[in-house]
Structures are given as structure tokens and as C-alpha cells.
Structure 1
Amino acid sequence: MNFVEERQQASSAYFDGKRDDTLDVAYITRRELPLIDASLAHIVARTAAIHEAGDRLLYIGHIQHLQLGEQRKILVFYCGKV
């Protein structure tokens, strides 16, 4: 999981399925998983349980890796909009 800052909106959109082949997203690997470089935080977790929660699924995980970066303004989405 990547927590990205406002200036990383294009990278967020790229991994949300809005591919831009001209975008060069820098990434690092942790525990053999790609993570967006220079993110505010990274979390790598192993799924421990999955529970139904209404029309959603709630995943419970064990954190395998946690890294905090610099404090900057986080990119937040609400109702599908930034």
C-alpha cells in the first residue's frame, strides 16, 4: 500500500487503471513487491482474514513492512474526486 502526496496524483491514477504510457513511475521493491518511490508511507501486509461487511469485504492483515517518509500533504479522494 502506498500513501502518496498531492503532487503524485498522476502516479495514483496510473495504478488506478488510467494508464499513461508517457509517465515514468519510479518504484522501489520491498519483500518482492513494487512500491511507489518517494511516497509518504509504505505498508506491506499479509492477509490474515477476510470478513463480509455489508456490500464490502474487510481485510485484516499482519504488517510485514512499514516505512514512513517525509511529512507532506497527502492525496485524498472523496466520492471519487480529489
Structure 2
Amino acid sequence: MDAREFRNALGRFATGVTVVTVPNGEGVRGITANAFMSVSLNPPLVVVSIDKKARAHALLLQAERYGVSILREDQEALSNHFAGLEGGAEPALGTFAGLLVVEGALAHLVCRTVDRHEAGDHTLFIGEVEALRYREGRPLLYFRGKYGHFRHPEEAPELTV
């Protein structure tokens, strides 16, 4: 099958948007990732899939810990910044549990890398969650190569006849 067709088909799966941060000699390197999911509740494990060509990949291979910031619906420009795209905004970073994370995100997780698996042109980084915090708000979504926004059914306007 054609790689573009494969990507188009999988683009029909809506995901949230995260920024994965990892310390480096200059402070922090971050990368936008929508290939992120929970793996286990006990112990609490997550996985993030990172392209081997990404600048942050080599740092993640060496890192013992990494941060995950789950972005809010109004943080599209921050997603673009960490993806290296036009229209990116300079991020406001804060410290949580010893790692830099994106300020104002819906959730922050600090993970200790427990395993790595090569999977084609990506590496799966499995992390045990050491610390987390979260707030209320709406997530930034990604669907068919574009950003989207979530509206909870309870927030939908009532229909009148």
C-alpha cells in the first residue's frame, strides 16, 4: 500500500495533541506528538511514538525522564512551535517535578523511561508516570491533518422548534 494512503486512512482517527519535553545541555528540547496513549494503570504507564528523524529522538534515547504536556484547545501555536511549523508561538515553560513542561496545558505528566522499542521508522518510548497534575478545559484535537476543537454534548445549544 502507498504510504500516503496509509497516513490518510489513519488520519481519520482523532487524537489529542501533546508536547514531549526532554532535558538537554541547553535547557529543554520539545516535540509535538499526537501518537501518545496510556498503556497500563498498574503500574501507570504511557507510550509516545517518536520519528527517528526527529531532533528530539536522540535526546529521548538517552533521557531517563521526559515530560508530557497535553495541550488545551487554544494552544495550537505552541503545538506548531514544537512541530517546527510556521505560526508557532514562543512557549512559556514551567517546572513540574523537576522537568520543564508547557505552562497552562490541560495536564502534565513526568515519566521515567522504562523501555524503548524500535517500530519501523519510529521508536516507542514507554514511561512510568512519576507525577501528574491536571485542570479543567477543552483539549486541542488533531484530525485529518488539521487542528480541531471538542464540544461536549452537554455544551451543545438546545434545539428549539
* TM-score where L is the length of structure 2: 0.43
Question: What number of residue pairs does the alignment pair up?
Answer: 80
Which of 130, 134, 143 aligns to 1:78? It is: 143
Deviations 1:28-82 (A, max 9, x none): 1123321111110011101101123455432221112111112x22111134321
Which of 53, 72, 75 aligns to 1:8? It is: 75
- Once the two structures are aligned, what percentage of the paired residues are identical? 35
- By relative contact order (CA 8 Å, sep 6+), the higher-ranking structure is 1
4+ aligned runs moved over 6 Å, structure 1: none
2:94 is paired with a residue whose SS is strand
CA RMSD, 1 decimal: 2.2
- CA–CA separation in structure 2 for the residues paired with 1:12 and 1:36: 10
- CA–CA separation in structure 1 for the residues paired with 2:86 and 2:96: 23
1:15 is paired with a residue whose SS is helix
- CA–CA separation in structure 2 for the residues paired with 1:14 and 1:35: 14
For structure 1, which runs of at least 5 residues remain unmatched after alignment? Answer: none
Tell me which residue corresponds to 1:25. Answer: 91
Q: Which one has the largest radius of gyration? A: 2
User: How far has the Cα of 1:3 moved from its partner?
Assistant: 0.7
For structure 2, which runs of at least 5 residues remain unmatched after alignment? Answer: 1-67, 148-161
